[in-house]
Structure 1
């Protein structure tokens, strides 16, 4: 049998064509969906897999979704086998403990792709639905204590059979949602996306031939693995450790430690979470697929961001996590707010890697989901979910970014115009928080303040967040960023700050305001080495107060904002001596 050889130009053309298909799938999903969480905030991901279930192309959407789609595809191959899969069948699931996503609102959908009668791959997507039942609207409570409180668990089941939608399954899902028509619309949008991906993938096989596509996929996967191995080999052999803490999971409980040890030996890398704290009482536990996705993100981001967007390097990483810990919980542990812990996992991984590759890892970012849900009856029931952005940590050569998502989340904000058009709510304030970025030679990015007013007769409020006790850490002498908070009815006699960051079932009346303040981020380097004119610019722009300019940077400003060079030199000199 003649061995098929595919030149590198053709491999790259095919690889980019598959990535383009994944991006097109994402565009179809967003444009066809009903909910703001998908069509506006882009809380979804799309991907292609080969016939062996290996990820060959993922659109650049949400890093936490990397392991979720692979779980469904692998479950299809393990439980059904390639011989039992049929054209026109589409499968869905959402259960984190049986090959679904990483929490119940994420519904994964996958379709086997055929060419000339043979299985050639899978088209898959995942989307965060705004409600799948559970004890609070939005199905994303941070204080649930069991997965059974978090919504409908969908086993792997056929959503489409022989080209026809399985109306019984669709009815089962919609019946368990507070927004049945929205669920129907979003599921059908997912269906349109997998059909688009399947058609385009089959067209590529028709254009180049399945044998050529298979060889190209194998080379792309091997190339991604080799890129990681080369990056790892450049790190001095050794074990690099870091730890950080999550806010207390419930009143009276101790904070939970996240600890990692990254061991490098030549081209081999292993990651051990021994010493990480107990399984949480509430919904911040991390199932295996979420842990793996977080590890893959951190390695790619810190070691080689240009590693191709496929799963070629996944098997090159060994991950050990103690059973019964927060990063490997026993079912039925609650997992709805798992990204709060995933963000801290990313922090400690990057903290350890900062010792391995100095200068390439930023200071601590806001690293909190800061998730809120407003829900209630108006003319019809509504559920508004949102993740509020925060500060990104300063880097070794530049300031951190303001008001962005970081690490395993990559969703957009919901524009005020869309929010106020869709929901009986009004945004009174949306601004950056002065002094929330840690001082440093390079300043940390700023967190966000967002005040949302209820215009309906009544509404329920739920939220979960972290970094409300332990601040984002500065690096190389930079100062820490600020923590976040939720404040009810700010500026009134009834004002109160919600404790703990994980709340549900709070009743709001017409006119009530919730103030959401997201964490800032850490600074990088000695603040006294920051050029004084940059500090003056920050003060003029409202990013830094005049008080902080003097206290944290040693910069003296005139009443008009100009730098007093002589006084600044004296202050900085005196403080260095002190």
Structure 2
């Protein structure tokens, strides 16, 4: 394989040209993102935007990223490096090749559903860049529909494994691999459609990048990429210098009672997250790979240092993450990981909790703290075909030192993610939505109140349906700050057609019948400050808006309505 040398030749270039190229890199990844959104088959991609795209340099370092899930983008570089490690001989990687991987324990993958596609871009016989796409595919086989279950004992139960393979070779698809993808999915048309959407996304990026190379020359483009990454590091280190130095820690109980802990040390040169001493990986799917864990730390670092600018490899150079191999934050093969995102959400929230008391100008009280991934499927009432849907849920954000929390927003991990509109869910997914409203349960009271979660009711109108889900923070609500009150909790109620109610914080392929209703309830965020310090006019406004009852106004806020 011909690779670009990491030491660039010193060339004359003007800063305006370099900045134009760097802006073009962002435009290229934005076009990749738009292409994926426009061509995908599943609503989890084209509506929710549960995917990420990126451009790397020749060595697999993140150079530019599009919109989408930040954690997906952050894990793409290790995927490229796994390809370079496996296909290391000269000629192993050729123009037109596309690689795929989805094994979580190496290669920048989170769980088997999150399939990574990667394509090298060549100039003058050498790799000048890599393009990558990572998206959640709704079903990749395995024991459980949707390929998701907290009860999975190992990765073999979770679906088809793609061990860093070529799916397209020199521009020609490997039809046998595509047939295997289709043959192992319960929704083969959607799976193959989302595969080709990912390919289209990268091909659009390659077209634009080659035009850029033709216009400015490959050496100038290499320099622009290298300087862009270097600029990212300068901005990150400048942001690090402004943070309060010290050691911060927080603990949290998992739903099963185990204790997890994060220790964050901030110095002039490093942002270190120490996760050593945490529980060992378990015999279920609540395990996270180290690549996924690192991204959780990177996202918090970016949020408190330089949240508004671009992100690339340089943006995260000061971040160091320490783990024990074989722990829930560094699970080893063949540990199950299909609901890794809830463990990742716990860690993201834990680092946040450790830093928030000292960084109230950056960080709010705790938010609903769960992806609340809801996986539903069955025979579509219109077509009779097997159909699967995936929806993360909105929830309440914590209050801050000077404002109430935001209602019905996705988690801090989600980035530019959207909920599926009621009309789309009903028309495309074969469900009825009986209700979508703010959660009026108590919780999150304070001088500033936590944002409201949601109530979302799915009515099943097809036969042979099922639901799988895991919601953390089902026992302990989001944490508060400075005397505020804890938020509420996440869970679902299944109301059977005979009126019987069943409450769950997790379930796997729970059978649903026509006429059953799944009631999703997500948490209100934590409050900030003592409730008795809330302004009277704010309490009365809360009462008028239905956020609180007259009893709450009297008992919690000390105001007679």
| TM, length-normalised to structure 1 | 0.91
- Indicate yes or no: 2:233 matched with 1:247: no
The root-mean-square deviation of aligned C-alpha atoms, in Å, is: 1.8
- Count of residue pairs the alignment pairs up: 549
1:94/1:154 contact within 8 Å kept: yes
**Match among 37, 40, 47 for residue 33 of structure 1:** 40
- Indicate yes or no: 2:395 matched with 1:390: yes
- Indicate yes or no: 2:561 matched with 1:554: no
The offset of 1:83, in angstroms, is: 4.1
The offset of 1:232, in angstroms, is: 2.0
- Indicate yes or no: 2:474 matched with 1:468: yes
1:437/1:482 contact within 8 Å kept: yes
C-alpha separation in 2, matches of 1:533 and 1:196? 54
2:386 counterpart residue number: 381
What is the SS of the residue equivalent to 1:277?
coil
C-alpha separation in 1, matches of 2:452 and 2:172? 49
Q: Assess, with a 3 A threshold, how the Cα gap between structure 1 residues 395 and 8 changes in structure 2: closer, same or farther.
A: farther
C-alpha separation in 1, matches of 2:308 and 2:197? 31
What is the SS of the residue equivalent to 2:410?
coil
Q: Deviations over 1:200-226 (max 9, x none)?
A: 122222222222222222222122212
2:175 counterpart residue number: 167
2:3 counterpart residue number: none
Q: Assess, with a 3 A threshold, how the Cα gap between structure 1 residues 507 and 26 changes in structure 2: closer, same or farther.
A: same
Q: Deviations over 1:400-457 (max 9, x none)?
A: 1111111222432111111111122111111101145501222111111111111012
Q: Deviations over 1:231-250 (max 9, x none)?
A: 222234321111222211xx
What is the SS of the residue equivalent to 1:284?
coil
**Match among 233, 237, 243 for residue 245 of structure 2:** 237
C-alpha separation in 1, matches of 2:244 and 2:491? 40
1:535/1:549 contact within 8 Å kept: yes
C-alpha separation in 1, matches of 2:27 and 2:530? 44
Matches within 5 A, 1:406-421: 406-410=411-415, 411-421=417-427
The answer to which of 69-78 and 53-62 deviates more is 69-78
Q: Assess, with a 3 A threshold, how the Cα gap between structure 1 residues 2 and 42 changes in structure 2: closer, same or farther.
A: closer
1:567 counterpart residue number: none
The offset of 1:554, in angstroms, is: 2.1
1:23 counterpart residue number: 30
Unpaired runs of 5+ residues, structure 1, are: 249-254, 558-578
C-alpha separation in 1, matches of 2:121 and 2:308? 28
Q: Assess, with a 3 A threshold, how the Cα gap between structure 1 residues 434 and 223 changes in structure 2: closer, same or farther.
A: same
C-alpha separation in 2, matches of 1:355 and 1:207? 51
1:88 counterpart residue number: 96
1:488/1:497 contact within 8 Å kept: yes
What is the SS of the residue equivalent to 2:85?
helix
**Match among 52, 56, 63 for residue 56 of structure 1:** 63
**Match among 514, 521, 545 for residue 517 of structure 1:** 521
Q: Assess, with a 3 A threshold, how the Cα gap between structure 1 residues 5 and 241 changes in structure 2: closer, same or farther.
A: farther
C-alpha separation in 2, matches of 1:14 and 1:527? 52
C-alpha separation in 1, matches of 2:250 and 2:272? 14
The offset of 1:281, in angstroms, is: 2.7
| TM, length-normalised to structure 2 | 0.94
The offset of 1:145, in angstroms, is: 2.0
C-alpha separation in 1, matches of 2:518 and 2:280? 32
